[in-house]
Amino acid sequence: MQAIFTTDFNENKVYLSKKNFKTILYKLINNSIKYHHPKRKPVIHLNTYRENNFFVFKIIDNGLGFDMSQIDKIFRMFKRLHAHVPGTGVGLYLVKRIVENLNGKIEVNSEVEKGSEFRIYLPIIDKI
């Protein structure tokens, strides 16, 4: 399965560990591919920008999406909304923990059969 990636990196400086940033990127991109819509090639858009005092990393996909009434479940450990795809249910839990430990926040919008948008807000700090 080939995915189409588009990027728009307007803000390119964020200070956090390489390990944490790789985990955030991997988990979100992996989910976009893993939960792709079976009738469409996955299209994933990666975007960064600055909003107030935050570095924002946004990832939008055209995957399966989910019902926003279940949003409280997606960040809980071992909770999964799509049982037909293998996984452990810890990916988004880890992303949320990392982001919150960095005094950031994560926001999500999703629509069933249309896809999802995740926004990671990380505070902009001076280089350590």
Residue 119 sits in a domain of what CATH number?
Answer: 3.30.565.10
Look at residue 126 in the predicted model and tell me its pLDDT: 65
Look at residue 6 in the predicted model and tell me its pLDDT: 95
Amino acid at 62: N
Mean pLDDT, each 10-residue run in order, the chain (128 residues): 90 84 92 90 95 94 89 68 57 91 95 95 78
In-domain check, residue 128: no
Kind and range of the H or E element at 76?
A: none
What lies within 8 Å, CB to CB, of 71 at 6+ separation is: 108, 110
Look at residue 10 in the predicted model and tell me its pLDDT: 87
| The total number of residues written for the chain in this structure | 128
- Which residues constitute the domain of residue 93? 4-123
Look at residue 109 in the predicted model and tell me its pLDDT: 95
Look at residue 70 in the predicted model and tell me its pLDDT: 81
In-domain check, residue 69: yes
Number of domains composing the chain: 1
In-domain check, residue 12: yes
